[in-house]
């Protein structure tokens, strides 16, 4: 039987495994397997050549039992509704596992920003905001940046939302430029959260970070900052990759110089003094820490047996398939599940939302200190659950998240008790 690579079905498989361990009520379980709302919109955009082109956009609002929906917006040529549904589900578990008062959602537009002008991207962003203006808001659904979106795009969406509603509302979206109410520390928050979880995992596993050999798959914003921060801790970054290929150096790479090379050449491939390697070779390198920081389904049943890292820190969303996760668990490869590992971004987005609502802003030091406290507690909670229940870290994280969401649903009164049965 072929391995399941549909990201939403993988998310459901992971949910099902944890729900069984929790003995979750079947009706609650079924409710949590699907999103509450799905919005699909057609966005007409006038292109630079004068022609009108229609783009398809999505916003999946998975669950808001614990607070407003929260999640990024992707601009990607291969975007699918199932991918957005999976990401919205994972965001639900992400906000719950770190115990912040938000739900889960996700957005996406099928487009290739590499083939669009800045003006076309702006018109697309504003069109997306207009199409969903009555579906988002600071107490409804709070978007943020994701793959191929950035603070400038968030600024355009905020501005368009304010034009439609006629109200100043910086809290409608996070990941904004500092000048428009963004939070200090947001730019590298996801990577910093990854570092905090690696620190705790390394302490548990007895890995000396001053001598650790690190491999980073994906050299965008998160992968780059992770590489920089791991080097600052004394680790040696021996390989990195991007969509065009990977590079390897046993003596270690200089993350900053590699990034400068990539900016000039649009890829890390060809960096002086490095050896070109394939994605498969990169993932299977001898190393202490592997950080998949690219897209979904990178570690599969085809390569999971070849993973030689002691620790896999999932900086990307859903980089490991269900079957691959089972293989890594069987092989005792310690894995920090993505919705815990990369939660630094949503934690600081939560801080930005709070700062916007109050109109009072914090220093970077305060932001990082508070994020460290939240994510470290979450990691230790998951580790304790893993050890107590004798389950892998992913299942433990799901168990904590699912219970919190399920409890919130029940406490809201969405369920009536009659003769001991749960009725929806």
Whichever domain contains 214, its CATH number is 3.40.50.720
Domain-terminating residue out of 325, 341, 357: 341
Tell me whether residue 254 is in a domain: yes
As a whole number of angstroms, the distance between CA 196 and CA 285 comes to 23
Residue among 111, 110, 123 at smallest CA distance from 47: 123
pLDDT surpassing 90 at residue 1: no
φ and ψ at residue 190, rounded to 5 degrees: -60, -45
Tell me whether residue 372 is in a domain: no
Residues 265 and 145 in one domain: no
Q: Find the helix or strand (DSSP H, E) in which 357 lies.
A: helix 344-358
Structural contact between residues 258 and 110, judged by C-beta atoms closer than 8 angstroms: no
Mean pLDDT for the stretch of residues 177-189: 95
Mean of all residue pLDDT scores within the chain:
94
Judge residue 33's burial from the number of C-beta atoms within 10 Å of its C-beta, 0-12 exposed, 13-18 middle, 19 or more buried. middle
Residue among 405, 216, 419 at smallest CA distance from 313: 216
CATH of the domain at 71: 3.40.50.10860
Judging by DSSP bridges, how do beta strands 421-423 and 416-418 pair with one another?
antiparallel
Residues 158 and 197 in one domain: no
Between residues 418 and 375, which one has the greater pLDDT?
375
Domain extent, residue 46, equals 37-180
Q: How confident is the model at residue 424 (pLDDT cuts 50, 70, 90)?
A: very low
Tell me whether residue 267 is in a domain: yes
Q: Which long-range contacts (CB under 8 A, 24 or more apart) does 257-266 make?
A: 258/219, 258/227, 259/219, 259/224, 262/219
As a whole number of angstroms, the distance between CA 96 and CA 118 comes to 36
Tell me whether residue 401 is in a domain: no
Residues 335 and 194 in one domain: yes
Number of domains in the chain: 2
Residue among 90, 68, 56, 44 at smallest CA distance from 143: 68
Q: What is the pLDDT of residues 2-46, one digit of tens each?
A: 677 899 999 999 999 999 999 999 989 999 999 999 999 999 999
- Quick one: pLDDT at residue 305? 95
Residues 194 and 309 in one domain: yes
Residues 206 and 169 in one domain: no
- Quick one: pLDDT at residue 311? 97
Residues 151 and 246 in one domain: no
As a whole number of angstroms, the distance between CA 371 and CA 351 comes to 9
Mean pLDDT for the stretch of residues 169-183: 97
As a whole number of angstroms, the distance between CA 75 and CA 72 comes to 10
- Quick one: pLDDT at residue 421? 39
Residues 202 and 296 in one domain: yes
The secondary structure of residue 116, as a DSSP letter, is S
Residues 91 and 119 in one domain: yes
Mean pLDDT for the stretch of residues 181-186: 95
Q: What percent of the chain has pLDDT over 70?
A: 97
Mean pLDDT for the stretch of residues 369-376: 98
Radius of gyration from C-alpha coordinates of the chain: 21
**Catalytic annotation, pick one of 31, 106, 229, 310:** 106
Tell me whether residue 364 is in a domain: no
Q: What percent of the chain has pLDDT over 90?
A: 91
Tell me whether residue 259 is in a domain: yes
Tell me whether residue 351 is in a domain: no
- pTM here is 0.92
Residues 122 and 263 in one domain: no
Q: How confident is the model at residue 147 (pLDDT cuts 50, 70, 90)?
A: confident
Between residues 140 and 2, which one has the greater pLDDT?
140
Mean pLDDT for the stretch of residues 240-257: 94
Tell me whether residue 359 is in a domain: no
- Quick one: pLDDT at residue 4? 72
Residues 199 and 140 in one domain: no
pLDDT surpassing 70 at residue 376: yes
Residues 239 and 135 in one domain: no
Domain-terminating residue out of 133, 159, 180: 180
pLDDT surpassing 80 at residue 417: no
- Quick one: pLDDT at residue 422? 39
Query: Is 167 annotated in the active site?
Result: no
- Quick one: pLDDT at residue 414? 58
Mean pLDDT for the stretch of residues 136-148: 95
- Pick from 118-122, 170-174, 321-325: least confident: 321-325
Domain-terminating residue out of 180, 198, 213: 180
Q: Is the dihedral of CA 228, 187, 370, 291 positive or negative?
A: negative
Q: Where are the alpha helices (DSSP H) in 133-206?
A: 151-165, 189-205
Residues 144 and 42 in one domain: yes
């Amino acid at each position: 039987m072929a391995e399941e690579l549909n990201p939403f079905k993988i998310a459901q498989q992971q949910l099902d495994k944890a729900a069984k361990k929790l003995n979750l009520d079947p009706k609650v379980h079924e409710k949590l397997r699907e999103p509450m709302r799905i919005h699909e919109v057609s966005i007409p955009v006038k292109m630079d050549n004068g022609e009108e082109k229609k783009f398809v956009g999505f916003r999946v609002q998975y669950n808001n039992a614990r607070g407003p929906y929260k999640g990024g917006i992707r601009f990607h040529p291969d975007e699918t509704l199932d991918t957005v549904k999976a990401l919205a589900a994972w965001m639900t578990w992400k906000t719950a596992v770190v115990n912040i008062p938000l739900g889960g959602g996700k957005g996406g537009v099928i487009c290739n920003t590499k083939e669009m002008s800045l003006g076309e991207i702006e018109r697309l962003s504003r069109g997306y905001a207009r199409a969903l203006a009555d579906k988002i808001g600071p107490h409804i659904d709070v978007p943020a940046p994701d793959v191929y979106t950035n603070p400038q795009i968030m600024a355009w969406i905020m501005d368009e939302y304010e034009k439609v509603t006629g109200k100043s509302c910086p809290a409608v979206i996070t990941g904004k430029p500092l000048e428009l109410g963004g939070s200090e520390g947001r730019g590298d928050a996801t990577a910093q959260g990854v570092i905090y979880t690696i620190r705790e995992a390394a302490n548990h596993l007895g890995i000396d970070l001053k001598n650790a050999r690190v491999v980073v798959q994906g050299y965008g914003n998160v992968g780059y900052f992770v590489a920089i921060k791991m080097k600052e801790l004394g680790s040696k970054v021996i390989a990195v990759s991007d969509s065009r290929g990977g590079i390897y150096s046993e003596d270690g790479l200089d993350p900053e110089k590699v990034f400068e090379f990539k900016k000039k050449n649009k890829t890390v491939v060809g960096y002086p003094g490095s050896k070109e390697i394939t994605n498969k070779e990169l993932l299977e390198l001898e190393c202490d820490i592997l950080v998949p920081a690219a897209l979904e389904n990178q570690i599969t049943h085809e390569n999971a047996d070849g993973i030689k890292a002691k620790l896999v820190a999932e900086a990307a969303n859903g980089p490991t398939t269900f079957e691959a996760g089972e293989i890594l668990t069987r092989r005792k490869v310690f894995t920090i599940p993505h919705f815990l590992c990369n939660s630094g971004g949503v934690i600081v987005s939560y801080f930005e939302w709070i700062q916007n609502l109050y109109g009072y802003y914090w220093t970077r030091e305060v932001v990082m200190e508070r994020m460290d406290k939240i994510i470290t507690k979450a990691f230790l909670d998951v580790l304790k659950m893993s050890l107590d229940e004798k389950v892998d870290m992913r299942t433990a994280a799901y168990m904590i998240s699912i219970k919190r969401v399920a409890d919130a649903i029940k406490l809201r009164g969405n369920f009536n008790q009659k003769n001991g049965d749960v009725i929806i």
